[in-house]
Amino acid sequence: MTPQLDPDALLVAYDAQLRAHVPPILPAGVTVEHDGPLLRMVGFDHGGFVTYRDVSGLGSAELDALIARQRDYFAARGERFEWKLHGHDLPADLPERLIAAGFEPEEPETVVIGPAEPLARTPVLPEGVTLREVTSRADIDRIAAMEEAVWNEDRQWLADGLEKELAADPDSLTVLVAEADGEVVSAGWIRYVPGTEFAGLWGGSTLAQWRGRGIYKALVAYRAQCAIARGYTYLQVDASSDSRPILNRLGLLSVTTTTPYVWSPR
């Protein structure tokens, strides 16, 4: 097995390069604060976010105090936030500690990683479907409307967030839509992580009647081309249970899981 296809080596690179990475240019209103080994990101439209590379060096009381400080910080703001827990995080009882502090787990996803180069091919699309890069608010609103149809929940925060990212640093991501007869049937975006070997794939939701026709794979291929063109080696995805098998078949390896533990004001 080559180093590029060694899941353990990929996980080490993921932990070292992505877990505590802070974008050099942040969207308007977003700030990053340090609390011990933890990074607290504040000002997103969909609530706050905390991440870290490793909290296993903290004693039991220190860890509980760190968790409580994050909860109390966002409680004072009246704001929900996510603690991004990975399956290989230590201590092993960290999930129980979060639940005891009032967090609730959402659906887990699988972190999949693999080299971009083998996937950087001309996208193959079903007849009548085209791909297009977009930057306008009108197109971003159309993406949010498609996502709302797929997930049956408000996605206005997604449109607001993408618009702010593009305004702050248009070179930091590429947003892509798949269209048929003027309708957005799927969409995805790629975030480039400067100073690392990684680009992240996000989105990929597809209207039910268009699934199973290769559109998701075409979005991956196009974004892999984007990654290679900008000098990135690896693609990383927080994959749902629907997209993980597709990505595994394309050659990306499952290296760990990630579960959002969310705290919301009562």
pLDDT of the chain, 266 residues: tens digit per residue: 345 689 999 999 999 999 999 999 999 999 999 999 999 999 998 999 999 999 999 999 999 999 999 999 999 999 999 999 999 999 999 999 999 999 999 999 999 999 999 999 999 999 999 999 999 999 999 999 999 999 999 999 999 999 999 999 999 999 999 999 999 999 999 999 999 999 999 999 999 999 999 999 999 999 999 999 999 999 999 999 999 999 999 999 999 999 999 999 98
182: which 2 tokens? Answer: 């003027």
**What's the burial of 24, exposed, middle or buried (CB within 10 Å: 0-12/13-18/19+)?**
exposed
Distance from C-alpha of 68 to C-alpha of 36, rounded to nearest angstrom: 13
Rounded to two decimals, the pTM is 0.94
Comparing CA positions, the residue from 6, 55, 16 lying closest to residue 255 is: 6
pLDDT of residue 90: 97
pLDDT of residue 1: 37
Cα-based torsion angle of the residue sequence 204, 210, 212, 213 in order, rounded to the nearest 10 degrees: -100
pLDDT of residue 2: 44
Distance from C-alpha of 142 to C-alpha of 263, rounded to nearest angstrom: 30
All structural domains of the chain, each given as residue ranges with its CATH number in brackets, are 3-110 (no CATH), 117-232 (3.40.630.30)
Distance from C-alpha of 176 to C-alpha of 227, rounded to nearest angstrom: 13
